[in-house]
Amino acid sequence: MKTYNYSDLTKQDIARLVQRNVDPANEIRTIVEEVISNVQQHGDRALYDYANRFDKVTLDKLYLNKHELEEIAATVLPEQKAALDIAYQNIYRFHESQLKAEDKVETMPGVTCWRELRPIEKVGLYIPGGSAVLPSTFLMLGIPAKIAGCHELIVCSPPQKNGKVNAFIAYVALMLGIDRIFLAGGAQAIAAMAYGTESITKVDKIFGPGNQFVTKAKTIIQSTTTTAIDMPAGPSEVLVIADDTANARFIAADLLAQAEHGIDSQAVLVCTSQEIAAAASEEVEKQLAVLPRAEIARQAIDNSYIVVTPSLGEAMSFSNQYAPEHLILATEKWQEITGSIINAGSVFLGNLTPESAGDYASGTNHTLPTSSYAKAYSGVSVDSFVKKITFQHITADGLQNIGPAVQTLAELEGLHAHANAVGVRYNPS
């Protein structure tokens, strides 16, 4: 792997290294806008047409029902069911802990303020299909939606050529108590959930990863409709911080787990030990040779790099500038440095915590901010499926306590009717 010496890098070099291509898909905007407008105008009809055109299948209805999902799911093996069950339970347990009632705060005598959670009523989950079948993503979105108590879950996934979805997707739907999957993929699925069609309910928020067409469609509907999205998305990435207590084999395995996602994935190693860096680079070549997805991983590795730093402090500084989706602390001293993490999506601590545990089954969510969005965004959680509504109650005494300040502030902003809304209440005759 390409290796840089941190001490040789200028500020500009570092800025260039941590830079990702924010919007590689801008050239497809016109295509996606046409798809959205077509779905908006023609509804279900457009979805049937796109299934024909893009998914090469003629559908006789736009969804699979519970009975059909059960038939499809029948081929899932007991061992696979057991693994999905473990993932379900751990993800449920961790996400359940995020749902907390908040205390009331009496900010002044007689003035009480608090927040209450309410689920977002209608949410849309996009589950990719085709070459990348991701039942884990379905769990990561469906479980927090269930815990939040969202009233309506619309699930879209592209149909395979046989007009069905993959058996694992069907099985997860049944685990989640979802008895309908809409057979729509790509930008057309996003448009259908944002505008609604005869069959598909317009939702308040859309979640889920997808190819560049899906991502572009989400960005467009976010700025042109009232439907929200989970977060902007880019290619997946990992940054490993390592020192001389790390294991080069483990590091290489983690870098390759990232690299096999796609040719645009990035796997960065920031390491205080020249020896470990060299050994990890060598291990990458060795492990790469036997990978089924070696061709993809090779291109991603060519697009990745190693930085050797004088200390863990510089390593963390580089990482904070990169703001990685996944951050692995491959050091026995991880407890000394977690406090200095500023920007990251999800963090994996120590030499025995592989990212793939969090991708599937440890309990944390794998829908995370990429492309340096971790500077301002958090990953998906139960929070993503609820609103926090503020409430306040003021007593007669409270009004006497707070009223004069409100009137003064309203008058200084020139808003007399605001002051009056307090004034009329002093004398409730």
Residue 399: Cβ-neighbour burial (10 angstroms; 0-12, 13-18, 19+): middle
Does 395 contact a second copy by CB under 8 A?
yes
Tell me whether residue 52 or residue 338 sits nearer to a second copy (CB atom): 338
Tell me whether residue 199 or residue 321 sits nearer to a second copy (CB atom): 321
Per-residue binding letters, 129-148, with a second copy (x by CB under 8 A): ---xxxxx------------
The Cβ-side half-sphere exposure at 344, using a 13 Å CA radius, reads: 22
Residue 261 is labelled as binding a ligand = yes
The distance in angstroms from the start CA to the end CA of the chain is: 80
Q: Which of 236, 214, 264 lies closest to 136 in space, CA to CA? A: 236
C-beta of 134: minimal distance to a second copy in Å? 6
Span 184-223, contacts to a second copy by CB under 8 A = 204-205, 219-220, 222-223
Considering only 3-11, 51-59, 80-88, 154-162, which stretch makes contact with a second copy by CB under 8 A? 80-88
Span 251-310, contacts to a second copy by CB under 8 A = 253-254, 256-257, 259-261, 287, 291-293, 297
Does 168 contact a second copy by CB under 8 A?
yes
Question: What's the CA gap between 37 and 226, in Å, rounded?
Answer: 16
Q: Are 236 and 264 within 8 A, CB to CB?
A: no
Catalytic residue among 283, 325, 355, 366: 325
Question: What's the CA gap between 307 and 184, in Å, rounded?
Answer: 43
One of 16, 61, 286, 388 touching a second copy (CB under 8 A) = 388
Q: Are 318 and 309 within 8 A, CB to CB?
A: yes
Catalytic residue among 283, 326, 355, 366: 326
Helix or strand holding residue 85 (H, E)? helix 78-96
Does 393 contact a second copy by CB under 8 A?
yes
Residue 320 is labelled as binding a ligand = no
Helix or strand holding residue 122 (H, E)? strand 122-126
One of 157, 304, 319, 381 touching a second copy (CB under 8 A) = 381
Tokens, residue 336: 């000394």
- The SS3 call for residue 242 is strand
Tell me whether residue 63 or residue 319 sits nearer to a second copy (CB atom): 319
Told to judge if 326 belongs to the known catalytic residues of this protein, a careful annotator would answer yes
Q: Which of 140, 139, 305 lies closest to 238 in space, CA to CA? A: 305
Span 319-338, contacts to a second copy by CB under 8 A = 334, 338
Active site residues: 325-326
Q: Which residues define the annotated binding site for substrate?
A: 236, 258, 261, 326, 359, 413, 418
Q: Which residues define the annotated binding site?
A: 126, 188, 211, 236, 258, 261, 326, 359, 413, 418
